[in-house]
Structure 1
Amino acid sequence: MITRETIFKHAKEKYGTSPDYPFQKFPNYAILRHASNKKWYALIMNVLPKKLGLEGNEEIDVLNLKCPPEIIDGLRNGKNILPGYHMDKENWISFVLDRTDPNEEVYNLIEQSFNLTKKE
């Protein structure tokens, strides 16, 4: 399982970014953004599973990342990689963190999202 804390640590070490919590209504929603252009490259939210079409009553952490549209369908598996929650579903995916193995390609996809969003 991967956690929001491990993602924050990775983002700080690799990109020099720390989470930002801009939503007063959702104090646990954390954004990772570029220092230069302030664009988001990742969003971590705590949501109820039913909002994602999943079973369960306890909130789960979800990581949203931007991806090239041509690879999104191949990534989504209905278990831990889903269409981007509350985002453009053609360009974003959501990882259910407690169902994601840290050895999966999530760090490569974070880097890809970082690179896709760094252009102004």
Structure 2
Amino acid sequence: MRRLEQYFVNKAIDEEKLLKFGFMIKDGAYCYEKKICDGAFKVIIYLSENLQYSKVIDVLDNEEYVLADISDAGGDFVGRIKDEYEKILMDMVDSCTDPDVFKTKQAKEVIHYVKEKYGDELEFLWKKFPDNAIWRNKNNQKWYGILMKVSKRKLGMESDEISEIIDVRVHQESIAGLIDDQKIFAGYHMNKKHWITILLDGSIEIEKILAFVDDSYRLSCK
């Protein structure tokens, strides 16, 4: 049996997507079965609030095929089973989950606001930087927002605390009056003549942050 918690790190399971994928609800849990290796084996996935696991069953004797979950078990036959097994698990994760990287209340509020108002989803563009994501204007592909997790020290503060931040476009002539190096900073990893960085820690009210997002979107239209 394989515990699946590691497959859902920074991901949120979408129950509607589970049903579309083929999961059935049994006793309050989501259960999925699929045959592999020409029907000789089947993969079972079980997802509940407190437990997520998968296993491979030998159809002939209805017993668990434990070699599928032993990392150093090798050979062509076992390798084929492992490959098909892993593909099902990865397809399930790709098809049935959404990114859930950003945890602060304000980050979640901004994500919801952008989706509702502009119909835009976060794009995670960099495998090496899974904590960075962008929004782009679908009409011209220009970015108008970036969410990131960074150390406060990288913003010039005396702390190694990891914080969630948003980068937005602003009018160039406004930047000097906005930056206080406590809540608002020169654009992190962006052109500092056109972008600012805002901490999403509650130090600035959410209405003001959303207004910055709206201004950034309008600027991206030009």
Name the count of aligned residue pairs. 118
2:133 alignment counterpart: 30
2:172 alignment counterpart: 69
Whether 2:143 is the aligned partner of 1:40: answer yes
Cα deviation, 1:62-106, whole Å, max 9, x if unaligned, reads 100010111111111221111000111111000011133224x21
Q: CA deviation at 1:39?
A: 1.1
1:91 alignment counterpart: 194
- Name the aligned partner's letter for residue 127 of structure 2: Q
| Alpha-carbon distance in 1 for matches of 2:190, 2:142 | 14
Name which structure has the greater RCO, CA cutoff 8 Å, separation 6+. Answer: 1
Conserved in 1, the CA contact under 8 Å of 2:137 and 2:221? yes
1:14 alignment counterpart: 117
- Name the aligned partner's letter for residue 53 of structure 1: G
Q: CA deviation at 1:2?
A: 5.1
Of residues 178, 182, 186, the one that matches 1:79 is: 182
Question: Normalising by the residue count of structure 2, what TM-score does the alignment of the two structures yield?
Answer: 0.51
CA-atom RMSD in angstroms: 1.4
Cα deviation, 1:34-87, whole Å, max 9, x if unaligned, reads 112221100011011110001222211110001011111111122111100011
User: Which portions of structure 1, spanning 4 or more consecutive aligned residues, are displaced by more than 6 angstroms?
Assistant: none
Identical aligned residues as a percent = 33
| Alpha-carbon distance in 1 for matches of 2:105, 2:121 | 17
Conserved in 1, the CA contact under 8 Å of 2:156 and 2:181? no
- Name the aligned partner's letter for residue 63 of structure 1: I
SS at match of 1:109: helix
Whether 2:216 is the aligned partner of 1:102: answer no
1:117 alignment counterpart: 220
| Alpha-carbon distance in 2 for matches of 1:73, 1:2 | 28
| Alpha-carbon distance in 1 for matches of 2:159, 2:132 | 20
Question: What are the within-5 Å matches in structure 2 for residues 43-62 of structure 1?
Answer: 43-62=146-165
Question: Normalising by the residue count of structure 1, what TM-score does the alignment of the two structures yield?
Answer: 0.91
Q: CA deviation at 1:3?
A: 2.2
